[in-house]
Amino acid sequence: MARGLHIKTLMARLQSEINCPLFQNRELTIRELMSAISDARMGSERVRKAIRLDEEAETLLVCVRRDTRNRDCRNCGAVAALRKWDAELTVRGQVLEDEGKGA
């Protein structure tokens, strides 16, 4: 558990240091979606929120202003890729859970 907390601390610090208005705007929405996914009681709601999370992360990944030489852009891409992965795992996990229930 300590490692998970350490990673969360590093992510929070990294996110606060990314100097990009698009990232900061989207990251607020992404954090809200992540929280909503954690709080959701129904699997269908988790999936809806995860799909929206995937869309928000994809917006950052396809940013037309991306400059791979810019540290902020590289960090933004790394955070967005992790959030996209979170969304995909949430959807896949729900599909597996539903299959296990015979849905």
Burial of 23 (0-12, 13-18, 19+ CB in 10 A): buried
Q: What is the pLDDT of residues 35-76, one digit of tens each?
A: 999 999 888 899 999 999 999 999 999 999 999 899 999 999
At residue 4, the pLDDT reads 56
**Cβ proximity of 58 and 88 under 8 Å:** no
**DSSP codes of every residue in 31-55:** HHHHHHHHH--SHHHHHHHHHHHHH
